[in-house]
Amino acid sequence: MPRRGNKRKKTRTHVVENEAAASALATNEETKVPRSLVVRRGKVESEVLELVQDMRYMMMPYTALNFQEDSKSSKLNKALAHYSKELTGTLGLTHILALSQNKEKLGLRIARTPAGPTLSFKVQQFSLSKHVRKVQRRPFDISSSTLTSHAPIVVTNNFGDATAPPHVKLMRITFQNMFPALNVATVRLRDCRRVILFNFIKRDEEGTNVNGQAEEDEEVEIRHYAIRATPVGINKKVRRIIQTKIPNLSKLEDIGDYITGTTASGAPAPAASGAMSDSEAEDETSHVVLPQKYAGKGNLKAHKSALKLVELGPRLRVKLTKVERGLAAGDVMYHAYVKKTPEEVRAVRDKFEQEALLKKRRREEQESNVRRKKAEAEEKREKKRLKQEEREKRAMSELRGEAASEDESDQDSEDSDE
């Protein structure tokens, strides 16, 4: 008899205890990882859209690469609050990077969810990843490589020590906390594939840039690099074979001719054999002895390799303009262009406190009104229920009285008949 119905679905969910414990531990570690979201708000140029995508690659792997912005929240403040409310608890979102553009400037906001602070930057200059790769001889294509499978190394340069101004300290802490912390004791060398540099530029006197515009006194330069390792100490052509770059050997009689660069008759090997410059890897940068095996062919443990930083992009130069205590709201902790006296700062703070107190009082009044209306509605329903019960009891008593009178009349008629 042929079998009827669909194929049986597996419903068993047995998990080995060790695997379950390891999974729980991994989940616990994953919750500690900072997760970011890069969005844009409003109408922007096509270059800004590409910049958003480049920044998402820069923040990989703990970010949403194909995130679609919500068009319902038109204002940036509402958008940040909306994303923070919807994604902080469910996806563990910790930072929001929002780009917005108007006729005067391109702005970047970095907000710490769910309660702030929010750092507002003015983007002075930026270069897309495609523009950076166009001028390179051997560029990296970050979209088709495995560079983004692990978080980058964060380098903060020239931000000062404990005596630095508070807004500079806040910038450094914010930049560092956007990426997972590096544990030197447990990190694997092969996972360190990228570097993000935050370089703080401090100028004592204002100058002019190449465009003739006045430069800001404080700026932060953001650069994104990939680490390229090349083994050294071996023949350049042998290294090319090791790295699977197969040369053209069609005009040679033996592999030895390719290595030595000459033919059996002593004549120089043809240029089509793929000869390389002797300074291709030796002159790139300093040489190090690898403590662990690194990515790429030939980069073995205890062997010497040449390390080089290859820029991936994007490249940004930003200026901190404002720091707000809350999530795109609250009192202003720092402003680059508006300076206020301590009395004015105290007055603004008192104003915010009064507004918060008034808002709290209105919320309490609204809640008390809601409770009062609910109590009145409940009391009204209770009175209605009691009236209904009373009517039912009265109707039942009337029915019983009518039944009793009918029985009496029936009894009287029987007695009269007798």
CATH code for the domain of 89: 3.40.50
Residue 363 in this model has a pLDDT that exceeds 80: yes
pTM flag (> 0.85): no
Residue 243 to residue 111: CA distance in whole angstroms: 43
Range 238-249 average pLDDT: 58
Length of the chain: 418
Residues 335 and 371 in one domain: no
In a domain, 9, yes or no: no
SS3 222: strand
Q: What is the pLDDT of residue 76?
A: 62
387: in domain: yes
What is the reported pLDDT for 288? 75
Whether residue 246 is contained in a domain is answered as no
Q: Judge if 321 and 385 occupy the same domain.
A: no
Question: Is 334 in the same domain as 370?
Answer: no
At residue 284, the pLDDT reads: 45
Query: Is pLDDT of 276 > 50?
Result: no
Same domain, yes or no, for 372 and 330? Answer: no
Burial of residue 68 (number of CB atoms within 10 Å: 0-12, 13-18, 19+): exposed
Q: Above pLDDT 90, what percent of the chain?
A: 27
3-state class percentages of the chain: helix first, strand second, coil last, to nearest 5: 40, 20, 40
CB–CB of 100/42 below 8 Å?
A: yes
- Mean of all residue pLDDT scores within the chain: 78
In a domain, 268, yes or no: no
Q: Is residue 290, in this structure, part of any structural domain at all?
A: no
Domain count, the chain: 2
Q: How far is Cα 43 from Cα 55, in angstroms, rounded to an integer? A: 18
Residue 386, in any domain of the structure: yes
Gap between the Cα atoms of 305 and 246, Å rounded: 21
Q: Residue 208 carries which DSSP code?
A: B
116 and 128 part of one domain = yes
Calculate Rg over the CA atoms of the chain: 37
Average pLDDT over residues 168-186: 90
In which domain, by residue range, is 59 found?
28-206+314-339
For residue 23 the two structure tokens come to 């999974």
Same domain, 127 and 141: yes
Q: Is residue 43 part of a domain?
A: yes
Residue 181 has pLDDT above 70, yes or no: yes
* 98 domain residue, yes or no: yes
Top mean pLDDT of 15-24, 283-292, 350-359 is at 350-359
Lowest-confidence range among 98-102, 115-119, 224-228, 287-291? Answer: 287-291
> 165 and 178, same structural domain?
yes
Number of helices followed by number of strands (H, E) in the chain:
8, 11
Question: Is the same domain home to 132 and 59?
Answer: yes
Q: What is the pLDDT of residues 12-35, one digit of tens each?
A: 655 444 454 444 334 445 557 899
50: exposed, middle or buried (C-beta count within 10 Å: 0-12, 13-18, 19+)? middle
Tell me the per-residue pLDDT of 211-232, one tens digit each, with 9 for 90 and over: 445 567 889 999 999 888 877 7
Q: 417 by DSSP, 3-state: which?
A: helix
Quote the tokens at residue 241. 């074979």
Indicate whether 181 and 330 sit together in one domain: yes
pLDDT given at position 173: 93
Which SS3 state, helix, strand or coil, does residue 348 take? helix
